Amino acid sequence: GQNIDQPTEMTATEGAIVQINCTYQTSGFNGLFWYQQHAGEAPTFLSYNVLDGLEEKGRFSSFLSRSKGYSYLLLKELQMKDSASYLCAVGPNDYKLSFGAGTTVTVRA
Amino acid sequence: ETGVTQTPRHLVMGMTNKKSLKCEQHLGHNAMYWYKQSAKKPLELMFVYSLEERVENNSVPSRFSPECPNSSHLFLHLHTLQPEDSALYLCASSQDYRGQETQYFGPGTRLLVL
């Protein structure tokens, strides 16, 4: 089976940095995705990592270590609009994605 | 134009009702997906279609019946549902179903079964 673990909730202050960790154990690996989902809305694509290392995209960065089965999503200069659920998803093979339960981030003023 | 649309956004139905969920994608993609999202649980893949052919049926009860008349439209027909089927049903699409293509999601249908 596939096992994707991420923290349930995190709280941070506006302007701060938050790091959301994701660990995975899957039967194969074909890439790791991060999605953002605001309450009542569609999950939206944030990042995709298939090679080890850090991918930076504006205020958001995603890191992958395949040997450790570990990824993190780094949110910098937090804004109130960043309050959302962040979903880690691993593609074990082809089209199938195994999702974590999501991390709810609350940004406080 | 919104990439993936779903209707209705909210649905309340009794256990004896029959209803259908509709999904439409405007991205020119070849693959479409149905997911179930329950509170505090991971997204569960239900069905996958590629060019109107079903390529995955993830052990979903027969009270859920998908239909894909063309590559832009996907339906989920519901009948004799149970209260535990109450959840957010998300549709997604990707360019192809082979390889790790990014999936784009619709806003979902919030379903409540009474």
Nearest-by-CA chain A residue for B107: A42
**Beta pairing, strands A84-93 & A32-37:** antiparallel
Q: Is A95 in Cβ contact with B31 (below 8 Å)?
A: yes
Q: How far apart are CA A56 and CA A103, in angstroms?
A: 20
Q: What pLDDT, on the 0 to 100 scale, is given for residue A78?
A: 97
Q: How far apart are CA A46 and CA A78, in angstroms?
A: 15
Q: Tens digit of pLDDT per residue, chain B (114 long)?
A: 569 999 999 999 998 889 999 999 999 999 999 999 998 889 999 999 988 888 877 789 999 999 999 999 999 999 999 999 999 999 999 998 776 788 999 999 999 999
**A96 contacts on B by Cβ (under 8 Å):** 45, 56
Q: Is A50 in Cβ contact with B100 (below 8 Å)?
A: yes
**Which residues pair with residue A24 across a beta bridge?**
A4
Which tokens hold the place of B14? 């009794």
Residue from the list A31, A35, A42 with its beta carbon closest to the beta carbon of B107: A42
DSSP state of B43: -
Residue from the list B43, B97, B108 with its beta carbon closest to the beta carbon of A95: B97
Q: How far apart are CA B63 and CA A41, in angstroms?
A: 26
Question: Which residues, 6 or more positions from B35, have their beta carbon under 8 angstroms from its beta carbon?
Answer: B43, B44, B45, B46, B89, B90, B91, B92, B105
Q: What pLDDT, on the 0 to 100 scale, is given for residue A91?
A: 84
Which tokens hold the place of B17? 């009702």
Q: What pLDDT, on the 0 to 100 scale, is given for residue B99?
A: 67
Q: Is B105 in Cβ contact with A101 (below 8 Å)?
A: no
